[in-house]
Chains A and B, each alone.
Chain A
Amino acid sequence: MIKLLIYAAIVLLIIAVAQLVRVFELASELKGEKSNEVTYKDHRNQGRMMFAFLIAFMLFFVWQVVKYKDAILPVAASVHGKDLDWLMWFNMGLITIVFVVINFLLFYFSYKYYSRPDSQATYLPHNNKLELIWTVVPAIVLAVIIILGLKMWNTITEPASKDAIVIQLYAKQFDWTARYAGKDSTLGHSNFKLIDGANALGIDTLDPHSMDDIVVHGELHIPVGRQVEFKINSRDVIHSAFMPHFRIQMNAVPGMTTSMHMTPSITTEEMRKRPEVIAQVKMINEIRAKKGEDPYEFNFLLLCNKICGASHSNMQMNVVVDTPEQYEAWLAKQKPFLAKK
Chain B
Amino acid sequence: MDNHGHTEHALEHAHADHHHEESFITKYIFSMDHKVIARQFLITAVFMALVGMVMSTLFRLQLGWPGQKFWLIEFLLGDKWGKDGIVDPNMYLALVTIHGTIMVFFLLTGGLSGTFSNLLIPYQVGARDMASGFLNMLSFWFFFVSSVVMLSSLFIEGGPASAGWTVYPPLSALPQAIPGSGLGMTLWLVSITLFVISALLGGLNYIITIFNLRTKGMSMTRMPLTVWAFLVTAILGVLSFPVLVSAVVLLLMDRSFGTSFYLSDIYIGGQALEQSGGSPILYQHLFWFLGHPEVYIVLLPALGIASEVISTNARKPIFGYRAMIGSILAIGFLSFIVWGHHMFITGMNPFLGSVFVFTTLLIAIPSAVKAFNYITTLWKGNIKFTPAMLFAIGLVSTFVTGGVTGIILADSALDVPVHDTYFVVGHFHIVMGLSAVLGMFAGVYHWFPKLFLRHMNKKMGYLHFWLTFICAYGVFFPMHFLGLAGVPRRYYTNSAFPMFDHLVNINVMISTFAIIGALAQFIFVFNFFYSIFRGTKSEKNPWHGNTLEWTTPMAHTHGNWPGALPVVYRWPYDYSKPGKQLDYVPQTVPLEEGEVDGGGH
Contacts and interface: CB of A to CB of B under 8 A. Distances in A.
Nearest to A90: B414
B95 interface: no
B471 to A, nearest CB: 12
Interface stretch (A39-47, A212-220, A322-330): A39-47
Given A36-B535, A152-B414, 18 more contacts: A17-B526, A18-B530, A21-B457, A38-B458, A64-B477, A68-B503, A71-B502, A91-B408, A95-B405, A107-B397, A130-B372, A131-B373, A238-B170, A249-B416, A253-B347, A305-B419, A310-B492, A311-B89
A46 B170 contact: no
10 contacts: A71-B484, A98-B404, A99-B400, A153-B353, A195-B272, A236-B170, A247-B416, A255-B265, A306-B168, A310-B178
A131 B404 contact: no
Nearest to A49: B466
Given A125-B319, A192-B265, A244 B361 contact: no
Given A35-B458, A254-B280, A149 B268 contact: no
Contacts, number: 368
Given A149-B411, A305-B420, A72 B384 contact: no
Interface string B367-398: 01101111110111111111000100100110
Contact of B382 (A6, A38, A120): A120
Contacts of B474: 60
Leading 5 A-B pairs by shortest Cβ distance: A125-B599, A244-B486, A255-B264, A258-B347, A46-B385
A173 interface: yes
B128 to A, nearest CB: 30
A308 interface: yes
Contact of B345 (A49, A125, A251, A287): A251
B156 interface: no
Contact of B386 (A3, A38, A202, A237): A38
Interface string B478-502: 1001001110101111101111011
A18 B171 contact: no
Interface in B252-299: 263-268, 272, 276, 278-281
Contacts of A71: 481, 484-485, 502-503
Contacts of B163: 307
A109 B255 CA distance: 55
B382 A121 contact: yes
Interface residues of B, number: 127
B123 interface: no
A286 to B, nearest CB: 9
B514 to A, nearest CB: 16
B347 A256 contact: yes
B323 interface: yes
Contacts of B401: 99, 103
A289 to B, nearest CB: 11
A38 B385 contact: yes
A106 B397 contact: yes
Interface centre among B163, B322, B378, B504 (most CB of A within 10 A): B378
Contact of B485 (A43, A60, A74, A131): A74
A44 B405 CA distance: 33
B345 A240 contact: yes
B22 interface: no
A121 to B, nearest CB: 4
A192 B266 contact: yes
B450 to A, nearest CB: 15
B575 interface: yes
B245 interface: no
Interface in A43-87: 43, 45-47, 49-50, 53, 57, 60-61, 64, 68, 71-74, 84, 87
Q: Which of A36, A106, A157 has the most CB of B within 10 A?
A: A36
Contact of A244 (B320, B390, B417, B506): B417
A242 B488 contact: yes
B455 interface: yes
Contact of A235 (B267, B361, B573): B267
A50 B389 CA distance: 12
Interface in A21-40: 21-22, 25, 29, 34-38
Contacts of A109: 375, 378-379, 381
Interface stretch (B104-112, B130-138, B310-318): B310-318
B466 A310 contact: no
Contact of A114 (B317, B345, B385, B492): B385
A303 B494 CA distance: 12
B357 interface: yes
A189 interface: no
A92 B407 CA distance: 9
B30 interface: no
B407 A103 contact: no
Contact of A88 (B321, B384, B408, B456): B408
A142 B419 contact: no
A105 B457 CA distance: 29
B368 A138 contact: yes
B47 to A, nearest CB: 15
Contacts of A46: 385, 390, 462
A145 B361 CA distance: 9
A110 B378 contact: yes
Interface in A251-308: 251, 253-256, 258, 280, 283-284, 287-288, 293, 296, 301, 303-308
B362 interface: yes
B435 to A, nearest CB: 13
A202 B393 CA distance: 58
Interface string B164-184: 100010110010011000000
A42 B404 CA distance: 32
Contacts of A18: 526, 530, 534
Interface string B448-467: 00000001111010100010
A14 interface: yes
A102 B534 contact: no
A237 B320 contact: no
B364 A113 contact: no
Contacts of A49: 466
A138 B163 CA distance: 38
Contacts of B357: 146, 149-150, 153
Nearest to A38: B386
A161 interface: no
Interface in A212-239: 235-238
Contacts of B396: 106
A107 B485 CA distance: 30
B350 A157 contact: yes
A42 B458 CA distance: 10
A60 B477 contact: yes
Interface in B422-460: 455-458, 460
A67 B105 CA distance: 37
Contacts of A308: 171, 177
B266 A22 contact: no
B456 A36 contact: yes
A146 B356 CA distance: 11
A130 B319 CA distance: 11
A267 B507 CA distance: 31
A153 B412 contact: yes
